[in-house]
Amino acid sequence: MNKKLLLLYVAIFSVISVSAQVNSSQTYKFLNLPTSARSAAMGGSFISSASSDLNLVADNPSVLDSTMDKLATISYINYLSDINMGYVAYSKYYHGVGTFSAGLQFMGYGDFIRADETGQQNGTFSAGDYALDISYGRAIDSLFSVGASMKLIYSSYDYLNSFGVAFDLGGTYVSKNKLFTAGAVINNMGMELKPYFKGDRQKIPLNMQIAGSIKLDKAPLRFTFLANNLQRWDLVGNQSVDGLPTINSTGNNISTTTQKTFTVDNIFRHFVFGAEILPSENFFIQIAYNYLRKKELSVPGRTSLNAFSFGLGMRIKRLKFSYALASYTSAGTSHHITLSTDLKSFRRKSSSN
């Protein structure tokens, strides 16, 4: 099999998100991949931040506020081999109305040789996934803010293509002393409008999350706790499904067994733990632990760091740079790079000249 084609299969059908092994009938799973380095470093999602970071809108649209006027960001993710992902976004604040943003997420799998079952080649084909998001957010008062996103999704694999729509709803709470932040989000509520195959409409990967972040008052540390996939309790899948049919040793009778789903293992599959070191406003270091990723991606007999993700960020003049190292499949490690800037700062400098 062509190596690139094999990697395409790995990227699409392997566990690239916390729900991939649990529900194989879902489509558009690329939506569960983090679009920025900062989110990737925090275990895949960062919904409980009150900082003016346009990159986090894809996780929680309620972070959009009046401070995010004319911000721009671009991210690049080296997923596997020639499989690459990117995200670009821009935000604009309108006085008395709220803040809007527009972003484009894409995942390209490269070009592939088309061949029949006998190995006869017949040209090449390409494959890719795309999502255009329009988001809106505004503050209700000094403590609470809300936001929503609409995503137009297009997927194309050679002659197969699909179109869908999804919505995100989010809320953010920030304490008066700014040391505690909480977020709640429902991601990817929607449907596949035009399926790959007529009459075979698949589900979009819905995800409900809540999270809290606590900043220590007299230390440059912030800890984050994320509860993921709250819409589905059992994340173990076929390993512990109530009423699972089994065949006895004689092979003649079929019986039904009930396995426990309320286990420590299943509970921890919902949680992601993260920490940040914040020595200054211009520099930070991140680390996170995703238990579900460890359970789904670890290869028996091999030691790996699939559960961990790492990142750092810094400001260089008017440019913010962040980098993350994470693993979403057993096939390799992914590198995330994000560049962000405030476009107003360039205008002020030009005016002064």
Q: What mean pLDDT comes out for the span 110-116?
A: 84
Q: Tell me the average pLDDT of the chain.
A: 84
Q: What mean pLDDT comes out for the span 234-242?
A: 59
Q: Give residue 35's pLDDT band: very low, low, confident or very high (50, 70, 90).
A: very high
Asked if residues 34 and 56 have their Cβ atoms less than 8 Å apart, the reply is no
Q: Give residue 122's pLDDT band: very low, low, confident or very high (50, 70, 90).
A: confident
The structural domains of the chain, with segments of one domain joined by +, span: 3-235+270-352
Q: What mean pLDDT comes out for the span 26-44?
A: 93
Structure tokens that stand for 166 in this block:
């999804």
Name the residue with higher pLDDT: 100 or 158.
100
Q: Is 332 left (phi over 0), alpha (psi -120 to 50) or beta?
A: left
The CATH superfamily assigned to 3-235+270-352 is: monomeric porin ompg (2.40.160.40)
Note the pTM of the prediction, 2 decimals.
0.82
Going through the chain in order, the beta strands assigned E by DSSP cover: 71-80, 83-94, 98-115, 121-139, 144-157, 160-174, 180-194, 207-215, 221-227, 244-247, 254-257, 271-280, 283-290, 308-316, 319-329, 332-342
- What confidence score (pLDDT) does residue 51 get? 84
pLDDT at 38 over 50: yes
- What confidence score (pLDDT) does residue 212 get? 97
